[in-house]
Amino acid sequence: MSSIQLTHDSRLAAAERGRLPTSLVLLLAASAGLSVASLYYSQPMLGVLGAEIGASAGAVGLLPTLTQLGYALGILLLAPLGDRFDRRRIILIKAAVLCAALLAAGAAPGIGLLLVASLVIGLSATMAQDIVPAAATLAPDAHRGKVVGTVMTGLLLGILLSRVLSGFVAEHYGWRAMFMLAAASLALTGVAAWRGLPRFRPSTQMPYGALLASLAALWHQHGALRRATLAQGLLAIGFSAFWSTLALLLHGAPFHLGSAA
């Protein structure tokens, strides 16, 4: 882990040279990818998961619904905190909560705990929404686009590869093993972030209520923001609806759906 540790002096020296350490950029990209991947691990496993714990298709279908609902609530209610508090602390807290939620999902004896864990997974997976602004803040102006692009590549790879990984692991080791592996990866990421991320100075002292109110002001002020939000929201709904229902419809071969993604 020492190779990715970034001291204040080394960060300043890197900025003066017009770049961030590659190890830090890769840490941010991996952290973003692993956090957002947690939203999708369960989708290829829904059919076999439901059969093993004796849950109905309707109850199992709530798992991805609650995960996405938690994610949406987290973006709305938690993401603005990054302007008010140290982003490093927020990232570490969310990584710890996400790790605990994944462990709870893997150890769940029934559908009830799985549903609660799914909601918390969605809420805490919004650490990706703190990592991307952190990358933009740390990057020198001349290389900000490249750094943010690299981090976004890691995030998108997490979305695309999560089903492949969960399908493979579940097929060979069981669905619980996938949640445990995901928790272990988040624990390692959290330790790396604790050692490697510098502290961030808050950009505002606005109260929490005022922060939320500012979102409404931005929504009304920027038409491009409204259009982008609606477009991405509809894409996310269609994306999740397809893969979630496909896993339930074809539960006779649930683990191979990830490879099809």
> What domains lie within the chain, and their CATH numbers?
8-256 (1.20.1250.20)
Mean pLDDT along residues 180-194:
95
Q: At residue 260, does pLDDT exceed 50?
A: no
The region of weakest confidence among 117-126, 173-182, 221-230, 234-243 is 234-243
For residue range 94-127, list pLDDT tens digits in order. Answer: 999 999 999 999 999 999 999 999 999 999 999 9
- Tell me the average pLDDT across 208-236: 82
Per-residue pLDDT tens digits for 8-27:
444 444 444 457 899 999 99
Q: Which range has the worst mean pLDDT, 8-12, 162-166, 236-240?
A: 8-12
User: Could you tell me the two tokens for 68?
Assistant: 């996405």
Q: Is the pLDDT at 64 greater than 50, yes or no?
A: yes
Average pLDDT for residues 234-261, to the nearest whole number? 56
